[in-house]
Structure 1
């Protein structure tokens, strides 16, 4: 039996499919409170115990020239490039405000620009923003750190790619979604193959360390045959990692999704067939299935981190820098500092008002309880390293694991009966068949799920 056959069990995937969190944080964002006091954030940032911890910086650039109908991100669709400069100026002021909260001698070993479309910015605006970052924070050298940016190939010429490399970026994430022209038309994202190939060739020419690609399955008009062609074409370009996301159709939350005819979406049975083909094709091609939607070459940092049990999750997904405090910049960005999560104003005018008034734009957040910290670590270990070693939690938290989590372990017996996990007296291990249902396994340890509407979350399969 092949790895794909073991990973993909249609009967179990259909039975366990449910709405649930992706666990880029725990507690998840619905638990953040509007009453959160930014003073909590400042106290966490000033904690002397954090001095040995590296920093990770995330910048949210919300602008898009053209809206993609499937997108659920916080974005501003506009063709007016003049909106970018005032936003960059506010980001530079926010950098100074945030830097005042931290010991800026703490090294920055990870930096990410996301969106929206970061390459909406002009070359000069990109340079201005990076210069301000280097002015206020201590960025490690190229070979010591991960500096990544999300790139829309429709917005990035080879000159842009070379400019990004000169600014210090050493990793790219490219949005592609699907190469099929009919699908591209339906989602309002026309992106010929040659455009994507040109960007990847340009990135390799200037020695980007890693190139990742985003694809989406479950979009209008997709079939197993059509998406197989997309996968085969993508494999010819040989990215270092692929994120193949399941499209979440939530038109009640994201109005632009109403532009797509729901009758053209693949049925649940067709979605499972698409997922099966994705797993088969990518594992046959030698990619390691990291978990959830992620695949990476064995030489990629994600695969190596998982093998070392140092893989982590943050608000950008899987990460190799578990030890970092994360500072969020820009509208809607989320940071994690110590035991505090904090999110900026989502609305662009509200964000601008805060920065213009000389204050942090934090609008909501949460300070974790002792129980939150324990469960966060449990869920992270399941999601990232596919196991729980009970003795590690007993040593770190002073608990007897099987007693403290007796109800949860009992609920997991059905997972064990179905071959998704192995459950011993000292260890829980996710089996190969359970890796595609790792969110469901982690959900057992989430004490908040009974208190919220699960429809706000995407399907686990």
Structure 2
């Protein structure tokens, strides 16, 4: 069962309520969230995860590969990247990726099938064609990328041409995600990302001509000089491209965390009310044009796999956001990449020196991680159901986990009653349903079941660093744009 569709009443209520409901909340691409990972864990955590994954063969895998290099800095960006024009640096990185793949595949013992893969960054197409071919050859040596799987790559439309798009198709990619942010020239100048509409349209046209299954565009609202009217013009241009999926992220100005943001003129940022108007008008326009509101930042055409999965109650979340294949163990490769393997989360070293140093010693480049408890598994399922499908079927959860829901979550149910009074949820015997209004504030609903946040509230601590690390963000209007932790 899925959440009912958004309507004008839900958007009107959201506009009225958003100014009152204010608090930091994770995006829940994992639970526990990445800020809860333990620094410097024993390497046995990763070994145990891979050993348990090996025992689960022949179940397929998901795979994330991080390419950190970018030629130019975008002032808003919160991703883990390395700004350089020295393309010689990527050759060494590719070599070390091969070492990491060999170590991971060696522990798995078999050439496991990969049903979903994603190359993120940075700018993955920073690699030259031969380096991309080498990375793909290494992946296919150590893993078996399923021909009918989802294989996606993030691309910068300013850095690819027809030949590079043809290469991506040749290598087996069938989905592309294009960074756009905003087509307004003044906004682009302010964020140091000049990207004409025609340049982006040429890449979209090439992807369609080459038979890519899906084209996704990323936008950001809350950037300098944006207004609802000006961003509306960007939406007009986006709709002319008719992407299969859209992500509309909110910008959080955190110059104390991300130094490049210090180059952004704070006085040019839209005020809170204008930023909320941008969001609401964008949702209204996209849904009126036939896009399905998937949740959080995501929209999709009705026949897209995400929209179908949502209708059928199969939607899931992983570190790339909403997904149709998030239920598989995910292997992370490259600096800062996160794996979710057999009930453990593992994250690689964030710097090249630490990453290379570990691999030079013949060990996996583990920097942080955590092993999930039984309570973590239970709450991850609950949070996932709320955020993806909008319904909790309590008898099914009780049966799977051997609990009495009312007794186990008495405090949480009391909090849900308060959210129900605001119209975010409906609590009925045996079922909790997220309303259309609640879908717009779904993180606020999910936070009710986050035990770590409850512990923090009972034992106040300085969460500034934690919020920065996990992409925690004020529910109201200032979430962070950051896809890679």
Q: Same fold (TM over 0.5)?
A: yes
**Structure 1 position 107 matched with structure 2 position 113:** yes
Residue 46 (1) aligns with residue 51 (2): yes
Counterpart in 2 of 1:180?
184
Aligned to 1:229, which of 233, 258, 267? 233
Give the whole-Å Cα distance in 2 for the aligned partners of 1:161 and 1:5: 43
1:282: how far off? 0.3
Q: Quote the Cα distance in structure 2 between the aligned partners of 1:101 and 1:7.
A: 50
8 A Cα contact 1:310 1:322, kept in partner: no
Alignment correspondent of 1:215: 219
Match of 2:242 among 225, 234, 238: 238
Which range is displaced more, 104-113 or 61-70?
104-113
* Aligned equivalents of 2:441, 2:66: Cα separation in 1: 30
Question: Which residue of structure 1 lines up, in the alignment, with residue 16 of structure 2?
Answer: 11
Partner of 2:36: 31
Structure 2: stretches of 5+ with no match in the other structure: 477-485
What does 1:318-397 correspond to in 2, within 5 Å?
Answer: 318-397=322-401
Query: Which residues in structure 2 correspond to 1:59-458 (within 5 Å)?
Result: 59-141=65-147, 144-449=148-453, 450-451=455-456, 453-455=462-464, 456=467, 457-458=472-473
Gaps of 5+ in 1: none
- Partner SS state of residue 474, structure 2: coil
Deviation at residue 153 of structure 1 after TM alignment: 0.3
Number of matched pairs: 459
TM-score by length of 1: 0.97
- Of 275-284 and 103-112, deviating more is 103-112
For 2:324 and 2:449, how far apart are their aligned partners in 1?
23
Q: Does 2:481 align with 1:459?
A: no
Q: Distance in 1 between matches of 2:463 and 2:235?
A: 32
User: What do the CA deviations read for 1:189-211 (whole angstroms, capped 9, x no partner)?
Assistant: 00000110000000001100000
> C-alpha distance in 2, partners of 1:179/1:5?
30
Q: 1:105: Cα distance to partner?
A: 4.0
Counterpart CA distance in 1 for 2:451 and 2:11 is 28
List 4+ stretches of structure 1 deviating above 6 A.
none
Q: Secondary structure at the match of 1:248?
A: coil
Bigger mean CA offset, 313-322 vs 207-216: 313-322
Secondary structure of the equivalent of 1:129? helix
1:387 touches 1:427 (CA, 8 Å); kept in 2? yes
Report the Cα distance in structure 1 between the residues aligned to 2:222 and 2:210, rounded to whole angstroms. Answer: 34
- Residue 483 of structure 2 aligns with which residue? none
CA RMSD of aligned residues (A): 1.4
1:38 Cα deviation from its structure 2 partner: 2.2
Contact 1:4/1:283, CA 8 A, preserved across alignment: no
Distance 1:11 1:50 in 2: 49
State the alpha-carbon separation in 2 of the partners of residues 71 and 151 from structure 1.
15
CA shift for structure 1 position 18: 2.0
Give the CA deviation at 1:50: 1.9
Contact 2:335 2:350 in 1 (8 A): yes
CA shift digits 1:204-242 (9 cap, x unpaired): 011000000000000000011100000011000000010
2:111/2:142 contact within 8 Å kept: no
Deviation at 1:338? 1.0
2:480 match: none
Distance 1:105 1:81 in 2: 31
Cα deviations by residue, 1:314-371 (Å, 9 ceiling, x for unpaired): 1111111132100000000000001100000001111111112221001110001111
Go from structure 1 to structure 2 and tell me whether the alpha carbon gap of 1:252 and 1:402 turns closer, same or farther (over 3 Å shift): same
What TM-score comes out, normalization by structure 2 length?
Answer: 0.92
